[in-house]
């Protein structure tokens, strides 16, 4: 510090005075105030704040605060870039003040205006038509949850017709149309939408609602990186070849989301589609998608394994879930993040209620699976952000199958060397044991924020009787070969040992506790090699810690404390 | 304007390869910081460049308090070595990027502090910090009535009653 010698200070500087006299925000520099204003318009996460409570749109309200704000706001083109469609006057103002800058045309779904017969929302058709005249400036078009009643079908058609007339090339980057209709009548999006022009900038498209779209519309969007279809019919998807053809035309696709869009299957084996950039595949409420889309996409993408690949399957039948899990867990995506938020228990049809038969069926439907020989010898398996898979019943409701066990016991994952289970809740302790049994050659087991409940051994024996407990456990429950013989490290992260449902809860039904206990005792009996236990960011009581240390021995226990 | 004062090239070795800068706050606190950390500030970078040839060390006098300056340094330290698109003078202006989680916590301060930080960031030409602050302030006033906006940010209503209540003004701002 002393080496910096302030030699001279220019006269006139009174920095202290400047700070004391901090100007109020009204006198913030124009650049800062403009910057603040540019963040004011509608944001996806903040729909309810679009309108101020005095009924003015947020961007209009700032012009009523003071003269300075008004003058700054008038010159802030970004503030007016969001074109509302529910009030002709506001539409006109926004179009005018946005000058020549890019605009976003949006009709959010929370508009309070009611249609003439009092049902649903509507947009001001005149305002929309006015906005359409500036479509050449639009970079984003969002039209959400437009509820169509009665004659509104014709209104939509008229508006779409207007879109076709624009002579200027579109700058659109994002197009989002979401329609709700009372009677589910399907509205056909014309093939000539956007006047047959190619859409070189369009990267993000959403069609949602009872809409029918022509494949040729998508074929004019080669730059598409995100496609979301919800309850939409795609004309070409009545054949396998049509699905393949559509996806082939979208080589840059990164996100594909299908909600209730049923690709038809015509019995023809799908041809491979290479989507090298795909990182997210989301299939929701879609019965046939797993057997149709997944095989098309998964096999060729094996060559382009992506660490961040995200697969979401929700609202499907167990059959679909089963198929998808097999695809993922089979190791086609060794490091895949499997995100399955919830599963619905659905009765498997009687003809498929034999689990072996079911699995065989799925394998036979997935010609790209060549079995264990295709898998690498060593890889990591990650189960993340998932709930345990519910048990399901067969058609007669007599037998309970554990889908998780059904799936993993068919998996050739014995080559897994590193198993990481994070944020995973095992509702059935048996599944936890089954997983460990499958992963025979795991050397590094990491359990992070994971809970196991249920009692595998509860009531069967006295946990304090180590020898009989271990003997019984090892002899009756652990199949041959014995699991985890190569285990060198168990890592527990973000685990609250004091929680009842924690994986190392002091209760007897804690599976992690039992796992460690069994292994420890077995190790002492010479069955297992020594392994290290690493605790990282765990909450543990002194008594629990003492007990654990007694099990493990000082030298094989490492605690990493962070935070 | 702040004053940049030259100091003799004394023998303070910088730690590692980064040189040291002396920042002097308006409350006359001297804060030594590695040049690397402050390289996110275009203002500081330009000042340092201007003195590169002189082989002198520089102290930079800044018109805000050490409390604010330390917050800015904390921000710059956190993102040291990170590429942020907003701070790249050669990059196209970024669109609406998602809020950075750390920024949200960092800017969880009272209104006056937030205003001081944004002004300091603007002065130092740290666009990413200006953007994060602007978003935070916009979040404070979004959805509020004009009167509430005035209260939140201490703005005086200087419209005449006629201007305020004129129908055309009410509609169009």
A207 three-class SS: strand
Tell me the two tokens of residue A6.
């302030």
A526 three-class SS: coil
Distance from CA of A91 to the nearest CA of B (A): 11
Distance from CA of B114 to the nearest CA of A (A): 11
* pLDDT, tens digit, 9 for 90 and up, residues B46-55: 888 877 666 6
Distance from CA of A447 to the nearest CA of B (A): 25
CB-neighbour burial class of residue A428 (10 A; exposed 0-12, middle 13-18, buried 19+) = buried
Disruptive mutation site among A7, A42, A61 for chain B (greatest number of B CBs within 10 Å): A61
Partners of residue A228 on adjacent β-strands: A206, A257
* pLDDT, tens digit, 9 for 90 and up, residues A417-470: 666 665 545 555 555 666 666 666 677 777 665 544 433 333 222 333 333 333
More confident residue, A473 or B148: B148
d(CA A287, CA A293): 11
| Pairwise CB contact (< 8 Å): A3 & B134 | no
Nearest-by-CA chain A residue for B32: A1
Confidence check: pLDDT of B74 > 90: yes
A424 three-class SS: strand
Residue (of B39, B136, B77, B6) closest to A10 by Cα position: B6
Distance from CA of A373 to the nearest CA of B (A): 43
A383 three-class SS: strand
Cβ neighbors of A432 (< 8 A, separation 6 or more) are: A426, A452, A456, A511, A515
d(CA A109, CA A107): 6
Confidence check: pLDDT of B163 > 60: yes
Q: Residue B69: its pLDDT value, please?
A: 95
CB-nearest to B26 from A18, A62, A67 is: A18
Whether A45 and chain B come into contact, CB under 8 Å, resolves to no
| Pairwise CB contact (< 8 Å): A7 & B5 | yes
CB-neighbour burial class of residue B128 (10 A; exposed 0-12, middle 13-18, buried 19+) = buried
Whether B96 and chain A come into contact, CB under 8 Å, resolves to yes
Confidence check: pLDDT of B76 > 90: yes
Mean pLDDT estimate for chain A = 59
Ranges of beta strands (E only) in A92-203 are 103-107, 138-148, 174-181, 187-188
| Pairwise CB contact (< 8 Å): A19 & B30 | no
| Pairwise CB contact (< 8 Å): A39 & B1 | no
Averaged pLDDT, A192-199: 65
| Pairwise CB contact (< 8 Å): B144 & A52 | yes
Nearest-by-CA chain A residue for B13: A3
Q: Residue A559: its pLDDT value, please?
A: 61
Report ipTM (2 d.p.): 0.87
* pLDDT, tens digit, 9 for 90 and up, residues A277-304: 776 767 666 655 555 666 566 544 443 4
| Pairwise CB contact (< 8 Å): A19 & B146 | no
* pLDDT, tens digit, 9 for 90 and up, residues A28-85: 889 999 888 888 875 544 444 455 555 566 667 888 888 888 889 888 887 888 887 7
Whether A18 and chain B come into contact, CB under 8 Å, resolves to yes
B 113-152 → A contacts, CB under 8 A? 115-116, 118-119, 122, 130-131, 134-135, 137-139, 141-146, 148-150
Which chain A residues have a beta carbon less than 8 Å from that of B148?
Answer: 53
Q: Residue A112: its pLDDT value, please?
A: 38
Backbone dihedral region for residue B143 (phi beyond 0: left; psi -120 to 50: alpha; all else: beta): left
CB-nearest to B22 from A4, A60, A67 is: A4
Whether A15 and chain B come into contact, CB under 8 Å, resolves to yes
Q: Residue A94: its pLDDT value, please?
A: 86
Nearest-by-CA chain B residue for A63: B173
| Pairwise CB contact (< 8 Å): A25 & B154 | yes
Cβ neighbors of A464 (< 8 A, separation 6 or more) are: none
* pLDDT, tens digit, 9 for 90 and up, residues A497-522: 665 544 444 443 455 555 666 566 55
B 66-95 → A contacts, CB under 8 A? none
Confidence check: pLDDT of B117 > 60: yes
CB-nearest to B159 from A19, A26, A67 is: A67
Chain position carrying tokens 């220019």:
A10
If you count residue pairs, one on A and one on B, with CB atoms under 8 Å apart, how many are there?
Answer: 165
Distance from CA of B81 to the nearest CA of A (A): 23
Whether A62 and chain B come into contact, CB under 8 Å, resolves to yes
Nearest-by-CA chain A residue for B149: A65
Cβ neighbour number for residue B160 with a 10 Å cutoff: 10
| Pairwise CB contact (< 8 Å): B146 & A56 | yes
Q: Residue A417: its pLDDT value, please?
A: 66
CB-nearest to B63 from A7, A18, A53 is: A18
Which chain B residues have a beta carbon less than 8 Å from that of A39?
Answer: 96, 134-135, 137-139
Q: Is the CB of residue A66 less than 8 Å from the CB of residue B159?
A: yes
Nearest-by-CA chain A residue for B67: A19
B 18-77 → A contacts, CB under 8 A? 22, 24-28, 30, 32, 57, 59, 61-65
Domains of chain B: 4-156 (3.30.710.10)
More confident residue, B76 or A427: B76
Distance from CA of B135 to the nearest CA of A (A): 6
More confident residue, A269 or A345: A269
Nearest-by-CA chain B residue for A27: B155
Q: Residue A324: its pLDDT value, please?
A: 53
Q: Residue A275: its pLDDT value, please?
A: 77
Q: Give the pLDDT band of residue A356 (cuts 50, 70, 90).
A: very low
Q: Residue A4: its pLDDT value, please?
A: 38
Residue (of A91, A24, A29) closest to A60 by Cα position: A91
DSSP string, chain B: ---EEEE-----PPSTTPPEEEEE-TT--EEEEEHHHHTT-HHHHHHHHHTGGGT-EEEEE-SS-HHHHHHHHHHHHHTTT---GGG-TTSPPP--PPPPHHHHHHT-S-HHHHHHHHHHHHHHT-HHHHHHHHHHHHHHHTT--HHHHHHHHT------HHHHH-HHHHHH-
Whether A51 and chain B come into contact, CB under 8 Å, resolves to yes
Based on its alpha-carbon atoms, the radius of gyration of chain A, rounded to whole angstroms, reads: 30
| Pairwise CB contact (< 8 Å): B173 & A63 | yes
Q: Give the pLDDT band of residue A221 (cuts 50, 70, 90).
A: confident
Which chain A residues have a beta carbon less than 8 Å from that of B145?
Answer: 52-54, 61
| Pairwise CB contact (< 8 Å): B122 & A53 | no
Which chain A residues have a beta carbon less than 8 Å from that of B22?
Answer: 1, 4
CB-nearest to B171 from A7, A8, A89 is: A89
Whether B112 and chain A come into contact, CB under 8 Å, resolves to yes
Backbone angles phi, psi at A304, to 5 degrees: -125, 50
More confident residue, A362 or A291: A291
Confidence check: pLDDT of B79 > 80: yes
Q: Residue A45: its pLDDT value, please?
A: 42
Cβ neighbors of A237 (< 8 A, separation 6 or more) are: A215, A243, A246, A261, A262, A263, A264
Whether A66 and chain B come into contact, CB under 8 Å, resolves to yes
């Amino acid at each position: 510090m002393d080496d910096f010698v302030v030699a001279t200070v220019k006269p006139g500087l009174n920095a202290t005075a400047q700070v004391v006299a901090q100007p109020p925000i009204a006198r913030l520099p124009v650049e800062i105030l403009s910057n603040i204003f540019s963040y004011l318009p509608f944001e996806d996460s903040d729909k309810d704040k679009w309108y101020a409570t005095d009924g003015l749109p947020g961007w209009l309200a700032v012009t009523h605060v003071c003269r300075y704000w008004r003058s700054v706001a008038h010159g802030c083109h970004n503030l007016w870039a969001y074109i509302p469609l529910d009030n002709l006057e506001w539409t006109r103002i926004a179009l005018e003040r946005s000058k020549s800058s890019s605009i976003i045309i949006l009709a959010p779904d929370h508009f309070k205006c009611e249609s003439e017969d009092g049902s649903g929302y509507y947009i001001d058709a005149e305002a929309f038509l006015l906005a359409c005249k500036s479509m050449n400036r639009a970079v984003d078009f969002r039209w959400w949850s437009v509820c169509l009643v009665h004659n509104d079908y014709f209104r939509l058609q008229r508006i779409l017709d207007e879109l076709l007339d624009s002579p200027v090339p579109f700058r659109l980057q994002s197009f989002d149309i979401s329609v709700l209709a009372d009677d589910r009548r399907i509205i056909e999006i014309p093939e000539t939408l956007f006047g047959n022009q190619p859409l070189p900038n369009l990267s993000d498209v959403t069609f949602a609602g009872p809409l029918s779209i022509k494949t040729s519309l998508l074929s004019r969007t080669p730059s598409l990186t995100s496609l979301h279809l919800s309850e939409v019919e795609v004309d070409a998807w009545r054949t396998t070849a049509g699905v393949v053809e559509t996806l082939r035309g979208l080589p840059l696709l990164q996100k594909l989301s299908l909600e209730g869009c049923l690709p038809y299957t015509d019995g023809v084996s799908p041809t491979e589609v290479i989507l090298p950039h795909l990182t997210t595949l989301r299939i929701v409420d879609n019965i046939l998608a797993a057997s149709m889309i997944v095989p098309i996409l998964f096999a060729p993408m094996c060559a382009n394994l992506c660490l961040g690949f995200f697969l979401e399957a929700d609202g499907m039948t167990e059959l679909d879930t089963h198929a998808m899990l097999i695809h993922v867990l089979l190791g086609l995506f060794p490091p895949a993040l499997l995100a399955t938020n919830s599963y619905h228990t659905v009765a498997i049809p009687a003809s498929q209620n034999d689990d072996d038969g079911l699995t065989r069926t799925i394998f036979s439907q997935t010609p790209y699976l060549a079995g264990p020989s295709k898998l690498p010898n060593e890889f990591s398996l990650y189960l993340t952000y998932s709930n345990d898979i519910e048990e399901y019943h067969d058609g007669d409701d007599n037998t309970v199958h554990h889908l998780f066990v059904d799936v993993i016991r068919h998996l050739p994952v014995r080559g897994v060397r590193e198993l990481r289970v994070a944020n995973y809740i095992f509702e059935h302790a048996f599944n936890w044991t089954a997983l460990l049994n499958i992963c025979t050659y795991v050397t590094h087991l990491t359990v992070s924020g994971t809970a196991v409940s249920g009692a595998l051994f509860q009531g069967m024996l006295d946990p304090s009787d180590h020898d009989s407990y271990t003997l019984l456990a090892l002899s009756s429950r652990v199949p041959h070969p014995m699991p985890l013989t190569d285990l060198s490290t168990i890592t527990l992260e973000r685990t609250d040992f004091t929680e009842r449902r924690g994986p190392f809860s002091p209760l007897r039904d804690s599976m992690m506790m039992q796992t460690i206990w069994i292994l420890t005792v077995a190790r002492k009996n010479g069955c297992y090699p020594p392994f290290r236990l690493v605790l990282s960011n765990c909450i543990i009581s002194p008594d629990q810690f003492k007990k654990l240390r007694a099990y493990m021995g000082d030298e094989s226990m490492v605690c990493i404390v962070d935070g | 304007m702040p004053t940049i004062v030259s100091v003799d090239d004394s023998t303070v070795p910088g730690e590692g390869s980064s040189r040291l800068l002396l920042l002097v706050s308006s409350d006359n606190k001297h804060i030594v910081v590695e040049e690397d950390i402050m390289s996110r500030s275009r203002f500081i970078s330009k000042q340092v460049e201007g003195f590169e040839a002189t082989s002198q060390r520089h102290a930079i006098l800044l018109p805000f308090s050490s409390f604010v300056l330390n917050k800015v340094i904390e921000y710059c330290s956190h993102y040291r070595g990170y590429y942020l698109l907003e701070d790249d003078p050669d990059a196209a202006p970024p669109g609406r990027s998602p809020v950075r989680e750390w920024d949200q916590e960092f800017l969880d301060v009272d209104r006056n502090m937030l205003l001081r930080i944004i002004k300091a960031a603007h002065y130092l030409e740290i666009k990413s910090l200006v953007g994060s602050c602007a978003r935070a302030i916009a979040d404070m006033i979004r959805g509020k009535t004009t009167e509430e906006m005035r209260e939140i940010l201490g703005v005086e209503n200087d419209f005449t009653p006629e201007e305020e209540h004129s129908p055309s003004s009410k509609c169009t701002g």
